């Protein structure tokens, strides 16, 4: 897996972000207005050498992502086997037999013969109506092993699995997960889970690698560091890099793959320019101090569902409709 990927989740609408807290923010729709900008940015990313693309059924972007990939292959910019494409199976498809239905749907929308990695997006199983289906993720995993055997995917993995769930899965599978994609950034280091996965040969992929550092995710009262944090700015200056580059480099030096999302061309290049410097031990130790366990992605509306992987909080919220039912694709609804 290439150590840096391009993330394709467009995020939630500005109105939602302005609302400021997870409870409010997640009750709004997905922001799809930036899809054309993402198509351009992804096209540019492949042109300049990105070879790893992270998408999901949930993101509504599979048709657009597939269109760009196929265009780049046709133009001779890249060969299919040089690309590493990941997509994910949503909560509605956790019965063993439904995994293949989901994967075949993704392949159809992507217009690809296979994906390089398919992930179980979350360990919970929830119907389109929000009913807790209470399907053991070990059953779902058997469906993953089956699509691997059929050659629909080159590798199988999980996402948002906690330490206990990883241990249980590894103890009860025929094919171990190739990867666990989890939130990791400067506020959320997850050292125990990362070390466990890495000790078992499970590649750790960091989603939301910038956490609440960037203005679009900076909820009120979210912790430092922000982009203008003096400590981070000083470190960045020392290496003649930006704070975001230092952040991605820090994760890379921990042996973690990052998949930052940006629809801004200059940032596509900026985020990939992290392989020509090395943070020294003192700076690594300073940056590590920002880890305070703060989560950017806190889907509290799922916390009473079986296998919710994070600590529960006293708050309550309804599952937003946008996480239950959606059209497949934004501009290219091929279903």
d(CA 276, CA 248): 12
Q: Establish if 162 lies at the interface with ligand NDP (CB under 6 A).
A: no
For residue 69, the SS3 value is helix
Handedness of CA 34, 71, 8, 26 (dihedral sign): positive
- In the complex, the smallest distance separating the C-beta of residue 208 from ligand NDP, rounded to whole angstroms, is 4
- In the complex, the smallest distance separating the C-beta of residue 314 from ligand NDP, rounded to whole angstroms, is 23
Residues in the chain: 335
Is 137 a residue of the active site? Answer: no
From 71-79, 126-134, 249-257, 260-268, span contacting ligand NDP (CB under 6 A): 260-268
Q: Establish if 187 lies at the interface with ligand NDP (CB under 6 A).
A: no
* Phi, psi of 316, deg, nearest 5: -130, 150
Q: Is 190 left (phi over 0), alpha (psi -120 to 50) or beta?
A: left
From 2-10, 64-72, 165-173, 191-199, span contacting ligand NDP (CB under 6 A): 2-10
Instruction: Pick the binder of ligand NDP from 7, 143, 189, 329 (CB under 6 A).
Output: 7
Q: Establish if 247 lies at the interface with ligand NDP (CB under 6 A).
A: no
Nearest residue (CB) to ligand NDP, 174 versus 236: 236
Q: Which residue among 50, 59, 137, 207 is the active-site one?
A: 59
Nearest residue (CB) to ligand NDP, 148 versus 243: 243
Segment 202 to 221, residues that bind ligand NDP, using CB under 6 A? 207-210, 214, 216
Instruction: Pick the binder of ligand NDP from 13, 27, 54, 157 (CB under 6 A).
Output: 54
Q: What is the dihedral of CA 66, 86, 334, 329, to 10 degrees?
A: -100
Please work out the total of residues on this chain that contact ligand NDP, with binding judged by CB under 6 A.
26
Q: Establish if 87 lies at the interface with ligand NDP (CB under 6 A).
A: no
Nearest residue (CB) to ligand NDP, 11 versus 225: 11
Residue 87 β-bridge partners: 118
CA distances (Å), origin 15, targets 31, 72, 271:
10, 34, 26
Residue showing the smallest CB distance to ligand NDP in the complex: 7
Long-range CB pairs of 269-276 (<8 Å, 24+ gap) are 269/48, 270/242, 270/244, 270/245, 271/4, 271/244, 271/245, 272/4, 272/45, 272/48, 272/49, 272/50, 273/241, 273/245, 274/4, 274/241, 274/245, 274/248, 274/249
Segment 274 to 313, residues that bind ligand NDP, using CB under 6 A? 297
Q: Which residues, 6+ apart, have CB-to-CB distance to 99 below 8 Å?
A: 89, 93, 140, 143, 144, 146, 147
Segment 13 to 52, residues that bind ligand NDP, using CB under 6 A? none
Residue 197 β-bridge partners: none
Instruction: Pick the binder of ligand NDP from 99, 263, 287, 330 (CB under 6 A).
Output: 263
What does the binding site for ligand NDP look like in residue numbers (CB under 6 A)?
7-9, 11, 54, 121, 159-160, 181, 207-210, 214, 216, 244, 259-264, 267, 270-271, 297
Q: Which residues are catalytic?
A: 59
């Amino acid at each position: 897996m290439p150590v840096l990927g391009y993330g394709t989740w467009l995020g939630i609408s500005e109105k939602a972000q302005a609302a400021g807290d997870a409870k409010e923010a997640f009750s709004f729709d997905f922001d799809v207005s930036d899809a054309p900008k993402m198509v351009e940015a992804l096209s540019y990313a492949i042109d300049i050498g990105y070879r790893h693309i992270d998408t999901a059924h949930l993101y509504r972007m599979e048709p657009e992502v597939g269109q760009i990939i196929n265009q780049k292959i046709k133009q001779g910019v890249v060969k299919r086997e040089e690309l590493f494409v990941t997509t994910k199976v949503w909560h509605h498809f956790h019965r063993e037999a439904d995994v293949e239905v989901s994967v075949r749907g993704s392949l159809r929308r992507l217009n690809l013969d296979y994906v390089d990695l398919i992930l179980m997006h979350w360990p919970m199983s929830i119907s389109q109506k929000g009913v807790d289906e209470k399907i053991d993720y070990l059953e779902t995993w058997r469906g993953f092993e089956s699509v691997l055997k059929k050659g629909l995917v080159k590798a199988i993995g999980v996402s948002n699995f906690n330490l206990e769930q990883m241990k249980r899965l590894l103890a009860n599978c025929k094919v171990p997960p190739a990867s666990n994609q989890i939130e990791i950034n400067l506020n959320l280091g997850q050292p125990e889970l990362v070390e466990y996965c890495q000790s078992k040969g499970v590649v750790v992929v960091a989603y939301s690698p910038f956490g609440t550092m960037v203005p679009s995710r900076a909820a009120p009262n979210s912790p430092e560091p922000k982009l203008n944090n003096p400590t981070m700015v000083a470190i960045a200056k020392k290496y003649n890099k930006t704070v975001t580059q230092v952040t991605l480099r820090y994760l890379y030096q921990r042996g973690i793959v990052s998949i930052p999302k940006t629809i801004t061309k200059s940032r596509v290049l900026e985020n990939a320019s992290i392989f020509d410097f090395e943070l020294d031990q003192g700076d690594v130790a300073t940056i590590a101090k920002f880890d305070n366990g703060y989560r950017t992605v806190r889907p509290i509306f799922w916390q009473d569902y079986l296998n919710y992987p994070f600590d529960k909080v006293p708050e309550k919220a309804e599952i937003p409709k946008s996480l239950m039912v959606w059209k497949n694709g934004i501009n290219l609804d091929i279903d």
